[in-house]
Structure 1
Amino acid sequence: MAGRLLLLFIALPLAETWLLIEVGSRIGALPTILAVITTAVIGSQLIRRQGMETLREIQRRQQRGEIPAGPMLEGVALLIAGALLITPGFISDTLGFLLLVPRLRTRLARALLSRVFVMRGAAGFDAGADRSSETIEGKFRRED
Structure 2
Amino acid sequence: MEEQQLTSIFYADDDVDDLDFFKEALLEIDKPVCLFEEGDKLLKSLHNPPPRASVIFLDLNMPVKSGFDVLREIKASANIENVPVVIFTTSSNPADIELCKKMGANLYIRKPASVGALRKAINYVLSIDWENFNPTDKEFLYLG
**TM value normalised by structure 2:** 0.25
**TM value normalised by structure 1:** 0.25
Q: Comparing both structures, which one devotes a greater share of its residues to helix?
A: 1
